[in-house]
Amino acid sequence: MNNYLRKTIDYAAGNFFNKVLLIILLPIFTHFLLPEEYAVYTNLMIFFSLTSLIYVLGIQQAIFSHFYDVETKQYKFSLISSILIILSIFGIVLSGLIIIFRLELSLLVLRSAEYANLFYYLAIALFFNMLFTISLSLLNIMEKSRQYAIVSALQNVIVLLLIILFSLNKKFSVDHYFIFLAVATVIASSAGIGQIIKLMKKMQVPTSEKKYFSADIVSSILKFGIVMIPGTIAMLVLQASDRYMLTYLSANTMYDVGIYSAGYRIGMIMHFMVTLISLVYLPYAMKIAKEPQAQAINRNMFKYYIIFGSLFGAFIIMYSQEIFRIIINSNYLTSYKIVFAGVISSFLYGIFNIININYYARKKAGNITLAVFLGSILNIILNFILIPKYGIFGAGIASIIAYFFIVIFNYSVAVYLYKIKYPIYLIFFGLLILSSATLINSYVLLSWKSFIIKTVIFAGIGGIGVFIMKKDKKIKNLIMVLKNQKQEK
């Protein structure tokens, strides 16, 4: 099998497996937890995600811009070792602070001290999750797709098995989940770091030339990475502030957080396609960034992501009622109405990532940071305005508008600075498809007749899509270029 095709399948399998696991967990959560308890889980996971970004110091993104700066094994060995050392020291300090201030953090995040003990488990999970995250980034940039797929799935598999085991004994609770998360991150990070150590040994760098810590490399990476931290945090604010602000601004507080989070999570099935592009295409795009055909290939990726991404998103929205009827507890049934927000926001985020390739290639992290910072501010302002009046729908609309803003902002800047020529009208075409699916889903009641009609429509659209792919020379050229990528040793 062609090497690049094999890598694509590996990444797709691992990514798809992780997304499926998240969907499997949702009915378990909704069965054992009330919406208010699910909101506790949601807010703590927002804290986990936000703090995780600080733990990695922006180095997760910096790796993609620095790994191929020098094509020697000595440089790569020193870069990997230096990253692991600096992050381990920083992570120990941060975890200690979380344990010390656990009571204050519980009051801030949950408006209650009842769950302060969970921050012990979060401190452990955050440290080992940092090692897990960095090991995955290194496996990704080195294009070790098989190892990436296995290691990336390990954490969620362990959590799932523990949840199922305790669920069968009817003992599952929010407390149990974070204990499981701590256990899973320890095991998964050990596996990830183990793979990295093996790869470092295979580099066969002579002992006399091994440099375990390079201040110059760390300085260069941190200059890029630290600039990314505000933007990355702002991106998380953009992604998750709606749920946290519902806690304080919505009339139903934690209940609305639970309902909104369940619907938004189903909508984020769209992230399967977004993440796949980041895993498969971004490393390749960085490799060819200086070649003449790079801009044309990026433009084609932009075009076909929008076309097929919007159709995939419409599929999720149209079948959201069926999903909730089949797998979600009846307490959460109204969540299907907010699925559109997760789908459209994720769709726009994918476009944003493709545009950002232009900034990664030129090491211009500041442009990305500025767009996300402005978008997060806009999202917060819109949440303040819309949530008190429209509740979860106000939060969903605020999210979509904010993502649309960062896409248009970064596209405009890229056009001005780098003269890119992407077909921007396709963004509006994609949004039209997703908006149409949302309207249909709002007015068509769940029934076998509507299910059959939707299935026939999407089968027809799928057939047209396959026909276009076979006939379109640009798609063929894009696939051939990707397939001709040389195998990494």
Distance, CA of 44 to CA of 38 (rounded, Å): 10
Buried b (16+ CB within 10 A) or exposed e, 286-323: bebbeeeebbebbbbbbbbbbbebbbbbbbbbbbbbeb
Q: What is the mean pLDDT of residues 206-223?
A: 80
- Mean pLDDT check: name the lowest of 115-119, 201-205, 393-397: 201-205
Please write down the long-range contacts of 115-119, taking CB distance under 8 Å and 24 or more positions apart.
115/40, 115/44, 115/174, 115/175, 117/175, 118/44, 118/174, 118/175, 118/178
Distance, CA of 147 to CA of 77 (rounded, Å): 19
Distance, CA of 398 to CA of 391 (rounded, Å): 11
Which tens digit of pLDDT belongs to each residue from 43-95? 898 899 889 888 987 777 777 667 766 677 788 888 888 888 999 999 999 99
CA atoms within 13 A on the CB side of 468: 9
109 — pLDDT class (breaks 50, 70, 90): confident
5 has a pLDDT exceeding 90: no
- What is the DSSP code string of 312-325? HHHHHHHTHHHHHH
Which tens digit of pLDDT belongs to each residue from 235-267? 777 877 888 788 778 777 778 888 888 888 787
Letter for the amino acid at 201?
K
Per 3-state DSSP, the chain is made up of helix, strand and coil in percentages (nearest 5) of 85, 0, 15
**H-assigned helices in 203-253:** 215-249
Cβ neighbours around 416 below 10 Å, total: 9
486 has a pLDDT exceeding 50: no
Distance, CA of 342 to CA of 340 (rounded, Å): 6
Percent of the chain surpassing pLDDT 90: 21
317 has a pLDDT exceeding 80: yes
Distance, CA of 425 to CA of 437 (rounded, Å): 19
**H-assigned helices in 101-173:** 102-110, 118-141, 145-168
314: Cβ contacts below 8 Å, ≥ 6 apart = 433, 434, 436, 437
Is the pLDDT higher at 4 or at 151? 151
Rg of the chain on CA atoms, in Å: 22
Q: What is the mean pLDDT of residues 262-291?
A: 74
**Pick from 231, 279, 217, 248: which is nearest to 86 by CA?**
217
130 has a pLDDT exceeding 90: yes
Segments of 108-188 assigned E as strands: none
pTM: 0.70
Which tens digit of pLDDT belongs to each residue from 381-405? 999 999 998 888 999 999 999 999 9
| pLDDT for res 487 | 43
Distance, CA of 297 to CA of 482 (rounded, Å): 9
| pLDDT for res 478 | 54
Q: How far apart are the first and last CA of the chain?
A: 16
C-alpha distances in Å from residue 311, one per residue of 61, 186, 217, 318 = 29, 39, 43, 10
6 has a pLDDT exceeding 80: no
